[in-house]
């Protein structure tokens, strides 16, 4: 069955032992990409590797450590990386397109729509989009942190069926298999418990920016949006089509938490829009939101912070300080404060503009351990 697939390739999967880009490894991935495309699947690639491709070109003997060094290497390396992709893919008659993105492209509603529109057009025309974070210009507050989360957000934006996170570990384990011989590999997961985040190794091989904890965060976001996730290593005997169909053995499958895809508007609220304020709700309002699908009324709000305006996104916390969801404000904070005590109680967030953040307690606990 035809699928829409997003595959993320990390630096460790594309580099030699000395940290430089490996044209041979990249070419093997391109062979796998074209097999998937020729089989009728729609494929989007999120690829690291620009720093690896460029740092030697600008005179570094090893991967730079400073932000300026990495940005300079990425500026040179991104074009070289795409040259390798274009050369390898053209041999199979596949045309590649490059997109460089920052958080701003997702936070801004119009930009976000443009990103999804151009991806849809490229896929419609049989073009293979290759996406990377714009490392050369991104500043801390506008970065994704790593390409794991970028790939999850892309998977949600295009309503992908499957997200494949390629890494140098063959799946998700109960503990770090490199240091714990009793670590157990999970073949499938339907739920990501707090213990996984607590025990996950946040370190990297030194060639990239993400560890297993990063992949768990990305997997959680993708499954909340409705995509199935595969975390594992590349195996030439297991084509991308086999992984997408569920027969991959070199990794762990994480099943989506919803039967359908999260609507694009709700994705934007949950993952992209910058919150302009927050409200704390009492136990009754929390139950109404989480268990009964109700709207949030002012009578259920115990505290309101910020100067948000109508349609701004606000964070919603329960009495324990756990973030349970986000929503678009029905009115400005100033107007709501003026209406305190009015009956019937004014609307704060309509249920159509509310997004529950799944497994909020797990989200709180694994954040506390970082």
Tens digits of residue pLDDT in 191-211 = 888 888 887 755 444 334 457
In Å, what is the CA distance from 339 to each residue of 280, 284, 289, 310, 346?
17, 20, 21, 14, 7
CB 222 within 8 A of CB 155: yes
pTM: 0.84
Neighbours of 209 (CB within 10 A): 19
What percentage of the chain exceeds 70 in pLDDT?
91
Q: Biggest alpha carbon distance in the chain? A: 70
CA 191, 197, 199, 201 dihedral sign is positive
At residue 138, the pLDDT reads: 56
pLDDT tens readout for residues 213-231: 889 999 999 998 999 999 9
Smallest CA-to-CA distance from 296 within 288, 308, 307 is with 288
As given in the structure block, the two tokens for residue 362 are 């797990």
CB 162 within 8 A of CB 230: yes
Burial class (CB in 10 A: 0-12, 13-18, 19+), 131: buried
Confidence of residue 103 (pLDDT cuts 50, 70, 90): confident
Taking 80 as the threshold, does the pLDDT of residue 315 lie above it? yes
The Cα 48–Cα 8 span in angstroms is 8
Taking 80 as the threshold, does the pLDDT of residue 117 lie above it? yes
- What are the binding residues? 8, 48, 135, 147, 167-168, 209-215
At residue 212, the pLDDT reads: 85
Pairing of strands 251-254, 188-189: parallel
- What are the binding residues for substrate? 48, 135, 147
The Cα 28–Cα 131 span in angstroms is 18
Q: What angle do CA 337, 338, 342 make, to 5 degrees?
A: 100
CATH class of the region 275-368: mainly beta
At residue 358, the pLDDT reads: 61
At residue 67, the pLDDT reads: 86
The Cα 2–Cα 234 span in angstroms is 21
- What are the binding residues for ATP? 8, 167-168, 209-215
Supply the Cα-derived Rg of the chain in whole angstroms: 22
pLDDT tens readout for residues 128-186: 999 998 866 655 543 566 789 999 999 999 999 999 999 888 999 988 888 888 989 99
Smallest CA-to-CA distance from 68 within 22, 145, 136 is with 136
Distant-in-sequence, close-in-space partners of 369: CB < 8 Å, separation ≥ 6: 197, 198
At residue 12, the pLDDT reads: 86
Confidence of residue 257 (pLDDT cuts 50, 70, 90): confident
Which one of 3.20.20.60, 3.40.1160.10, 3.30.40.230, 3.40.50.880 gives the CATH number of domain 4-265? 3.40.1160.10
At residue 199, the pLDDT reads: 76
- Each domain of the chain, given as residue ranges in start order, spans 4-265, 275-368
Taking 90 as the threshold, does the pLDDT of residue 40 lie above it? yes
- Across the chain, mean pLDDT equals 89
As given in the structure block, the two tokens for residue 344 are 């019937």
* Residue, of 366 and 56, whose pLDDT is higher: 56
Preceding amide of 344 cis, omega within 30: yes
Under DSSP, the state recorded for 358 is S
The Cα 128–Cα 39 span in angstroms is 14
Q: Report which secondary-structure segment, H or E, holds 82.
A: helix 67-90
Distance, first Cα to last Cα, the chain: 40
At residue 366, the pLDDT reads: 38
At residue 202, the pLDDT reads: 56
List phi, psi (to 5°) of 273: -65, 135
Taking 50 as the threshold, does the pLDDT of residue 364 lie above it? no
At residue 144, the pLDDT reads: 63
Neighbours of 24 (CB within 10 A): 8
Distant-in-sequence, close-in-space partners of 212: CB < 8 Å, separation ≥ 6: 167, 169, 172, 176, 200, 201, 202
pLDDT tens readout for residues 276-311: 999 999 999 999 999 999 999 999 999 999 999 999
């Amino acid at each position: 069955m035809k699928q829409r697939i997003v595959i993320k390739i990390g630096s460790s999967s594309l580099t030699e032992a000395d940290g430089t880009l490996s044209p041979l490894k990249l070419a093997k991935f391109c062979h796998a990409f074209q097999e998937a495309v020729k089989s009728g699947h729609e494929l989007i690639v999120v690829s690291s590797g620009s720093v690896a491709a460029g740092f030697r070109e600008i005179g570094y003997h090893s991967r730079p450590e400073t932000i300026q060094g990495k940005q300079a290497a990425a500026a040179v390396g991104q074009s070289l990386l795409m040259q390798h992709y274009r050369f390898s893919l053209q041999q199979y008659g596949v045309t590649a397109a490059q997109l460089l993105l920052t958080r701003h492209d997702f936070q801004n509603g119009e930009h976000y729509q443009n990103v999804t529109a151009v991806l849809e057009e490229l896929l419609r025309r049989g073009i293979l989009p290759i996406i990377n974070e714009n490392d050369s210009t991104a500043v801390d507050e506008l970065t994704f942190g790593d390409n794991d989360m970028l790939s999850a957000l892309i998977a949600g934006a295009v309503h992908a069926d499957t997200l494949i996170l390629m890494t140098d570990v063959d799946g998700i384990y109960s503990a770090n298999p490199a240091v714990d011989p009793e670590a157990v590999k999970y073949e499938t997961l339907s739920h990501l418990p707090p213990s996984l985040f607590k025990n996950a190794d946040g370190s990297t091989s030194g060639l990239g920016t993400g560890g297993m904890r990063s992949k768990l965060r990305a997997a959680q976001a993708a499954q909340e949006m409705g995509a199935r996730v595969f975390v594992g290593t590349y195996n030439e005997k297991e084509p991308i089509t086999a992984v997408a169909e569920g027969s991959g053995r070199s990794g762990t499958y994480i099943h989506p938490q919803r039967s359908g895809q999260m609507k694009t508007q709700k994705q934007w609220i949950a993952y992209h829009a910058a919150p302009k304020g927050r409200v704390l709700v009492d136990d009754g309002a929390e139950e109404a939101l989480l268990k009964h699908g109700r709207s949030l009324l002012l009578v259920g709000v115990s505290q309101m912070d910020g100067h948000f305006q109508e349609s701004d996104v606000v964070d919603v916390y329960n009495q324990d300080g756990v973030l349970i969801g986000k929503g678009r404000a029905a009115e400005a904070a100033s107007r709501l404060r003026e209406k305190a005590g009015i009956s019937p109680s004014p609307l704060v967030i309509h249920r159509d503009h509310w997004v529950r953040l799944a497994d909020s307690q797990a989200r709180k606990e694994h954040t506390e351990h970082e």
